[in-house]
Chains A and B, each alone.
Chain A
Amino acid sequence: MNFDFSDDQKQLRDQARKFLSEECSPKAVRVVLDGKAPYDSDLWKGLAEMGFLGVAIPEEFGGAGAGHLELCVIAEEMGRANAPVPFSSTVYLAAEALLIAGSDAQKKKWLPAIASGEAIGTLALFEGKGNPSPKNIKLAASNGVLNGVKKPVADGAIANFAVVAARTGASGRDGDISLFLVDLKAAGVEVKSLTNLDPTRGQAEITFKDCKAEPLGAVGEGWSILTQVLDRAAVLCAFEQVGGADRALEMGRDYALDRIAFGRQIGSFQAVKHMLADMYVSATLARSNSYYGAWALSTNAAELPEAAAAARISATQAFQHCAKNNIQVHGGMGFTWEFDCHMYYRRANAMALGLGSLSYWEDQLIDRMRKKNAA
């Protein structure tokens, strides 16, 4: 048994960590946090040059052709650095949708552009309140023309193209949903930025008015493709969350060692020690669940739906828990704009919602476990 990343993959993680510690310091993140740039475009170029954007994209489409385990270790480092770039929208959602359902021409058009950093992509799924469900998709597609509004769309304001989930039928079944590829610079697209919990990752409202779009995958297959895309993204996001949770835990631990109160390091008080120990517990559970998700993702195992849901829940809980209690360990200073704690708190809580909220994934997990037991 080797339920661990290989030495090469660990080396890639070290390489990504070194690169991000140099190119994505908290100071750099703050440029985006303070609204001075919509994302860190220099970092984005750097990630492309390092080959990180296309690490799981096959060589024939301009990627490194490594694989999803390699993408997992990079994702962990992106989360740890709180990178202010559209990595998850472009790489986990748009690229994965193209890899699963794209025609050869679509792949040739967009995947090399993703790998080289020229194209930013996203998934336009949500339409206001609610979790992923065919019922919640109202945006209409007929004769290759889209009409409707998507919000929130992660990185929508900076994306070049979007995978849009649209309604092509009214039978009340999953087959009513189809996916479309839309060039966001095309006529009939209107984009508005939305103020959101995590300013280091933009959110937008996109209005499609008689907008021309080409189908991605067969008509009526949209929901089935989306489900696969969300599962794959859930595992990859889980690694970002694990990286963020670990960093928040480290920040709390370091502060507990440095800060003196009542004549002692505050990390010598059991109330603080035990809080940090509990953070370690959730971060460890999340890491182990995510490793299982990585195995299922990389081998395209039948267990992927269940493993992805478990990784999603566990990593969401861990990141929220660690980010929240990191502020608590820091006391009042943790609640200032000046300290970095709130950046992780914001990211943790935004990520908890991005692919559908915890309650949605809890429900999914039990469904999937039942299906497995029945089989």
Chain B
Amino acid sequence: MNFDDTPQEAEFRAIARAWIAANAPKQYEEELRKSSLGRTQLKNANILEVAKAWQKKKAEAGWACLHWPKEYGGRGSSPIERVIWQQEEGPFGKLSHMFIIGHGMCGPTMMAFAREEHKRTFLPPLASGEKVWCQLFSEPAGGSDVAGLRTRAEKDGDDWVINGQKIWTSGAHYSDYGILLTRTDPTVPKHKGLTMFFLDMKSPGVEVRPIKQAGGASDFNEVYFTNVRIPDHQRLGEVNDGWNVSLTTLMNERMSIGAGVATGFPELFDYCSSLMLEDGPAIENAAVRAKLANWAVKASGLKYTSMRAISALSKGERPGPENSIGKLVAGSMIQDVATYALDLQGAAGVVSGPEDAEVAGRFQAMLLRAPGTRVEGGTDEIMRNIIAERVLGLPGDIRVDKDVPFNKIPTKGRG
């Protein structure tokens, strides 16, 4: 048992470290290091522009999308090299946020299902960050129940005509392309009548409306489709096989390991280390210490769980199911951590403006963004179902709509 690199891994790490030291946008390092959930803007620069510039620089030197094949803009690296890169990239990795969906989900789906010419055209600019992609799955009537989506795609000559509405589309407002899951046959059970496409987000009939979140920020959008035409060659997978295509996308979402999920613990530990309470330093207060210790072991437990997965990658093995706990644990933890940080501030905790609030309002911002982390990318409840069913082998939920034609499924609850 050891944490040491193999000679090859050490060599790769040294090269990555040297390149980052020479090329990373150092002027933002401190600010990025201090940024936390709900507070990810830069003071004197547009973070999207900084992110695009960094991604382009990486791509030109062969450091973008490391695990992708070279012909599609990647480096052809092994999974462990990708993890080492993420470790070395450190706070600059936070600049990759706007590319996560494109690189983690859209790219792999294109690689698996798009025509070769499309892969060669669309994947390199996706890797280099010149083009940003989004994923159009969720709908008002299909959140956790994604397969309940209603956006229609109807064949018209060589095109498909799209009508409907998507919601919770991260980054749609700055995206150039998207992958889109639609219903092509409402007369068969819901999973069997879906088809996947990719499209230009500037297509006529696409309208993007930002959603103002509970915290005030707008990371997500509603996207409306009115008679949007998509040529058939932009179809991904067979007609009515979109559910299987989407599973590839979602599987890739859950395969990403090593970036580390935000728990809020380092921020809270720092804060308690300097905070003075009436009777002395917070860190010396027994009640505070008990709380901190409980979160400390969750944070370290997650860290070493991902180390175990990385070890499996290093040996060329497939990681076990342990990593599925990350989002579930971190999501509610960061919410509790933020709540507690405000509790320690007493009445002053209510002040949230960065100029007047304690530690520039980072915990207030965290609190207001936190509810979303327990919902996006699979709610806590869906994550527990996944663990129960796929890891522990418990029965799937009873699905009363499983064998019912989609257009015969009830659409209203009460009334």
Q: Could you tell me which A residues sit within 8 Å of B by CB distance?
A: 1-6, 69, 249, 253, 256-257, 264-265, 267-268, 270, 272-274, 276-278, 280-281, 284-289, 291-292, 294-295, 298-299, 309-310, 313-314, 317, 359, 361-363, 365-366, 369-370, 373
Q: Which of A4, A268, A370 contacts B395 (CB 8 A)?
A: A268
Cβ of B5: which chain A residues have Cβ within 8 Å of it? 1
Are B304 and A3 touching (Cβ within 8 A)?
yes
Cβ of B389: which chain A residues have Cβ within 8 Å of it? 273
Q: Which residues of chain B (391-408) have a CB below 8 Å from chain A?
A: 391-398
Q: Could you tell me which B residues sit within 8 Å of A by CB distance?
A: 1-5, 9, 80, 269, 273, 283, 286, 289-290, 292-294, 296-298, 300-305, 307-308, 310-312, 314-315, 322, 325, 328-329, 381, 383-385, 387-389, 391-398
Q: Which of A256, A294, A373 contacts B273 (CB 8 A)?
A: A373
Cβ of A366: which chain B residues have Cβ within 8 Å of it? 283, 289, 292-293, 296
The dominant DSSP class at the B interface is helix
Q: Which of A270, A298, A362 contacts B293 (CB 8 A)?
A: A362
Q: How far is the CA of A209 from the CA of B287 in the complex (A)?
A: 40
A selection of 16 A-B contacts at a CB cut-off of 8 Å is A1-B311, A2-B311, A3-B307, A4-B312, A4-B315, A257-B395, A268-B397, A270-B385, A272-B394, A274-B384, A274-B385, A274-B388, A276-B392, A284-B305, A285-B305, A363-B293
Are B293 and A69 touching (Cβ within 8 A)?
no
Are B308 and A288 touching (Cβ within 8 A)?
yes
Minimum CB–CB distance for A249 against chain B, Å: 8
Minimum CB–CB distance for A313 against chain B, Å: 5
Are B294 and A313 touching (Cβ within 8 A)?
yes
Cβ of A285: which chain B residues have Cβ within 8 Å of it? 297-298, 301-302, 305, 325, 329
Q: Known A-B contacts: A2-B314, A280-B387, A313-B297. Give 13 more (CB < 8 A).
A: A1-B80, A3-B311, A273-B392, A277-B387, A281-B328, A285-B302, A288-B308, A289-B301, A295-B3, A313-B294, A317-B294, A362-B294, A365-B297
Minimum CB–CB distance for A337 against chain B, Å: 27
Are B322 and A288 touching (Cβ within 8 A)?
yes
Minimum CB–CB distance for B29 against chain A, Å: 20
Most chain A CB within 10 A, of B289, B298, B394, is at: B394
Are A284 and B301 touching (Cβ within 8 A)?
yes
Are B3 and A3 touching (Cβ within 8 A)?
yes
Are B2 and A369 touching (Cβ within 8 A)?
no
- CB-CB nearest 9 A-B residue pairs: A285-B301, A362-B293, A273-B388, A288-B304, A277-B384, A268-B395, A277-B387, A288-B305, A314-B297
Are B392 and A253 touching (Cβ within 8 A)?
yes
Q: Which of B4, B297, B314, B381 contacts A270 (CB 8 A)?
A: B381
Q: Which of B1, B300, B392 contacts A69 (CB 8 A)?
A: B1
Are B304 and A291 touching (Cβ within 8 A)?
yes
Q: How far is the CA of A346 from the CA of B62 in the complex (A)?
A: 57
Cβ of B322: which chain A residues have Cβ within 8 Å of it? 284, 287-288
> Smallest CB-CB separation from B307: which chain A residue?
A3
Cβ of B80: which chain A residues have Cβ within 8 Å of it? 1
Q: How far is the CA of A281 from the CA of B391 in the complex (A)?
A: 11
Q: Which of A273, A281, A291, A309 contacts B1 (CB 8 A)?
A: A291
Q: How far is the CA of A299 from the CA of B396 in the complex (A)?
A: 44
Cβ of A363: which chain B residues have Cβ within 8 Å of it? 286, 289-290, 293
Most chain B CB within 10 A, of A5, A6, A274, A309, is at: A274
Are B308 and A280 touching (Cβ within 8 A)?
no
> Smallest CB-CB separation from B291: which chain A residue?
A362
Cβ of A365: which chain B residues have Cβ within 8 Å of it? 293, 296-297
Cβ of A276: which chain B residues have Cβ within 8 Å of it? 388, 392, 394
Cβ of A256: which chain B residues have Cβ within 8 Å of it? 394
A1 and B307 contact, Cβ closer than 8 Å, known pairs A69-B1, A276-B394: yes
Q: Which of A249, A281, A295 contacts B2 (CB 8 A)?
A: A295
Cβ of B300: which chain A residues have Cβ within 8 Å of it? 288-289, 292, 310, 314
Cβ of A257: which chain B residues have Cβ within 8 Å of it? 393-395
Cβ of B385: which chain A residues have Cβ within 8 Å of it? 270, 273-274, 277
